[in-house]
């Protein structure tokens, strides 16, 4: 299929979620342009709003004589990590919970760090996971260490709160520096709102200087862009314009290239590396004003290697693309993929094993990125179906509208 289309990508939910937390800690109304309309961002926003309104209370499961204000963050991992610190700093008695899958995802490194700062947090059911009983009080800050092996969100959660600590924060990053670009995104956004944050290797130092309001424009989401790179790679020919993806903004530098092929633009999001990776699979990235245009370019089929240690969300996209193009590739940095909305390695192995069957019905595994990575394969294999196509609302609510040309029966 030949693809010629113009696409308005969703706003980055990673940037949006951090911006909402900064505004909440700073105590100012947000002045943000292009805030994400994803389910994840809506869940976080509603949780923050509910804290300032009349709380809904339920009996706490381990103490029927007291009540805790109930915060349900559904299946949003970012909200779970960010809200745990926010509630620990916010006076009150809180019960933080989520879906069954969310109650299986790790929280212990963050809880351990908060406890070391004096926070009162108890596990209600299973050790290391939601639900959490949190008795919030002001946090003074100080020196801590945080294990980054399972997620960078633990460290980001603490950093977002730290400018409000009376003693600031000195944080040592332990273990594998998983998804490090997301931590650097947090730091860059903190600086945009006048926080004094410095990272030198594994040490991050934050001075006690509160956030100040400032306009902020959320960038289009590079993780969402990855699915359009995949469609470009699997197409016969294409010219796909992604609006705003190449444009400068007030909060990050830009190389200013215009109408020239580039391997990668400079932005807050580490997943912009998709431009460099997909160049190896025949997709050229061209900057045209504020937009990025994807076109086919020659490429040589050869064994490739991709490391997802810093960019785990790109794994489903890349493995589906390589499978569709029949390109041999080695994938490393997969340890944390079992801790996402699904076990993404197993999920993709199971679904890609179906390729070549006369009728393709894919399981969503309750994972938005699994669905959006598998759908473009319909360009090669014909009509496909999903058991839960609406899961894409978690990060890209308009995915099926934008990709309506795909032969996907929903």
Note the pLDDT of residue 247.
Answer: 64
Statement to judge: residues 127 and 34 lie in one domain: yes
Q: How many residues in the chain? A: 410
What H or E segment, with its residue span, contains residue 25?
Answer: helix 13-26
On the question of pLDDT at 1 being above 80, the answer is yes
202 and 286 belong to one structural domain? no
Shared domain for 157 and 254, answered yes or no, is no
Q: Cβ distance 40 to 395 under 8 Å?
A: yes
**Better-predicted residue by pLDDT, 110 or 266:** 110
- The owner of tokens 């969100």 is 153
Q: Are 190 and 163 in contact (CB under 8 A)?
A: yes
Lookup: tokens for 371: 């669905």
Summary mean pLDDT of the chain: 92
Each residue's pLDDT tens digit, 305-363:
999 999 999 999 999 999 999 999 999 999 999 999 999 999 999 999 999 998 999 99
Residues 288 and 141 in one domain: no
Q: Can you say whether the dihedral through the CA atoms of 289, 291, 296, 300 is positive or negative?
A: positive
Q: Identify whether residues 312 and 294 lie together within a single domain.
A: yes
Question: What's the predicted TM-score (pTM) here?
Answer: 0.92
Are residues 131 and 198 both part of a single domain?
A: yes
Report whether the peptide linkage leading into residue 230 is cis, meaning its omega lies within 30 degrees of zero: no
Q: Are residues 317 and 343 in the same domain?
A: yes
One domain for residues 230 and 211: no
Known active-site residue 313? yes
- In this structure, the number of other CB atoms found within 10 A of the CB of residue 125 comes to 12
pLDDT at 54 over 70: no
We report the CATH number of the domain holding residue 342 as 3.65.10.10
What pLDDT is attached to residue 342? 96
pLDDT in tens, 175-190: 999 899 999 999 999 9
**Same-domain check for residues 158 and 242:** no
Confidence (pLDDT) at 66: 57
Q: Give 30: exposed, middle or buried? Use CB within 10 Å, 0-12, 13-18, 19+.
A: middle
Determine the structural domain holding residue 195 and report its residue range.
13-216
| Per-residue model confidence (pLDDT) at position 263 | 39
| 6 shares its domain with 144 | no
Identified catalytic residue from 72, 221, 313, 402? 313
C-beta separation of 181 from 18 below 8 A = no
Query: Where a domain ends, among 161, 189, 216?
Result: 216
Find the range with the poorest average confidence among 45-54, 91-100, 306-315. Answer: 45-54
Say if residue 409's pLDDT is above 90: no
Closest CA to 285 of 337, 223, 235, 239: 239
pLDDT of amino acid 53: 73
235 and 152 in one domain? no
Q: Which of 40-54, 174-188, 190-204 has the lowest mean pLDDT?
A: 40-54
Residue ranges in 90-202 assigned as alpha helix (H) = 108-116, 153-161, 180-192
Residue-wise pLDDT tens digits, 138-195? 999 999 999 999 999 999 999 999 999 999 999 999 999 989 999 999 999 999 999 9
pLDDT higher than threshold 80 for residue 401: yes
Distance between first and last Cα of the chain: 20
Q: What is the mean pLDDT of residues 381-400?
A: 97
Q: How far is CA 199 from CA 136, 172, 205, in A?
A: 28, 10, 6
Using a pLDDT cut of 70, give the percent of the chain over it: 92
Share of the chain above pLDDT 90, in %: 88
Question: How confident is the model over 221-230, as a mean pLDDT?
Answer: 98
- Average pLDDT rounded to a whole number, residues 103-126: 97
**Residue 410: what pLDDT?**
75
**How many CB atoms are located within 10 Å of the residue 276 CB?**
12
Greatest alpha-carbon pair distance for the chain in Å reads 69
Strands (E), 120-167: 120-123, 132-136, 142-147
Dump pLDDT digits (tens) for 120-136. 999 999 999 999 999 99
User: Is the pLDDT at 61 greater than 60, yes or no?
Assistant: no
Domain edge (last residue) among 190, 216, 242: 216
Same domain assignment for residues 180 and 249: no
Contact (CB, 8 A) for 85 and 116: no
Number of domains in the chain: 2
Helix (H) / strand (E) element for 314: namely: none
Calculate the CA dihedral of residues 178, 181, 183, 188 and round it to 10 degrees. Answer: 170
Q: Considering 183, 216, 249, which residue would you say is the last residue of a domain?
A: 216
Phi, psi dihedral angles at 381 (to 5 degrees): -110, 0
pLDDT of residue 228: 98
Using one digit for the tens of pLDDT, what is the confidence trace for 238-254?
999 999 998 644 233 33
């Amino acid at each position: 299929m030949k693809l010629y289309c113009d696409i308005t990508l969703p706003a980055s939910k990673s940037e949006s979620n951090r911006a909402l937390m900064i505004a909440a800690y700073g105590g100012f109304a947000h002045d943000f342009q292009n805030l994400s309309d994803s389910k994840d961002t809506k869940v976080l926003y509603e949780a923050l709003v509910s804290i300032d309104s009349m709380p809904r209370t339920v009996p706490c499961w381990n103490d029927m004589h007291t009540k805790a204000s109930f915060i349900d963050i559904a299946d949003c991992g970012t909200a779970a990590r960010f809200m745990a610190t926010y509630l620990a700093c916010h006076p009150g008695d809180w019960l933080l919970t989520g879906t069954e899958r969310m109650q299986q995802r790790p929280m212990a490194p963050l809880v351990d760090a908060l406890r070391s700062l004096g926070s009162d947090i108890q596990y209600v059911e299973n050790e290391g996971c939601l639900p959490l009983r949190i008795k919030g009080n002001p946090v003074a800050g100080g020196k801590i260490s945080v294990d980054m092996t399972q997620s960078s969100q633990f460290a980001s959660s603490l950093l977002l709160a730290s400018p409000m600590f009376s003693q600031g924060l000195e944080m040592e990053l332990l273990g594998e520096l998983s998804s490090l670009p997301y931590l650097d995104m947090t730091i860059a956004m903190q600086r945009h709102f006048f926080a004094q944050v410095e990272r030198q290797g594994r040490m991050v130092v934050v001075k006690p200087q509160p956030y100040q309001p400032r306009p902020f424009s959320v960038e289009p989401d590079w993780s969402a862009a990855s699915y359009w790179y995949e469609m470009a790679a699997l197409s016969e020919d294409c010219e796909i314009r992604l609006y705003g993806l190449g444009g400068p903004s007030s909060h990050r530098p830009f190389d200013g290239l215009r109408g020239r092929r580039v391997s990668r633009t400079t932005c807050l999001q580490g997943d912009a590396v998709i431009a460099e990776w997909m160049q190896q699979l025949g997709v050229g990235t061209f900057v045209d004003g504020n937009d990025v245009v994807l076109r086919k370019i020659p490429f040589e089929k050869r064994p490739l290697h991709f490391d997802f240690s810093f960019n785990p969300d790109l794994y489903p996209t890349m493995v589906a693309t390589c499978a569709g193009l029949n390109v041999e590739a080695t994938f490393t940095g997969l340890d944390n993929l079992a801790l996402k909305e699904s076990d993404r390695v197993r999920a993709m192995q199971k679904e890609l094993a179906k390729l070549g069957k006369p009728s393709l019905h894919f399981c969503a595994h309750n994972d938005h990125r699994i669905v959006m990575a598998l759908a473009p394969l319909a360009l090669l294999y014909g009509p496909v179906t999903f058991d839960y196509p609406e899961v894409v609302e978690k990060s890209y609510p308009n995915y099926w509208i934008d990709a309506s040309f795909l032969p996907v029966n929903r």
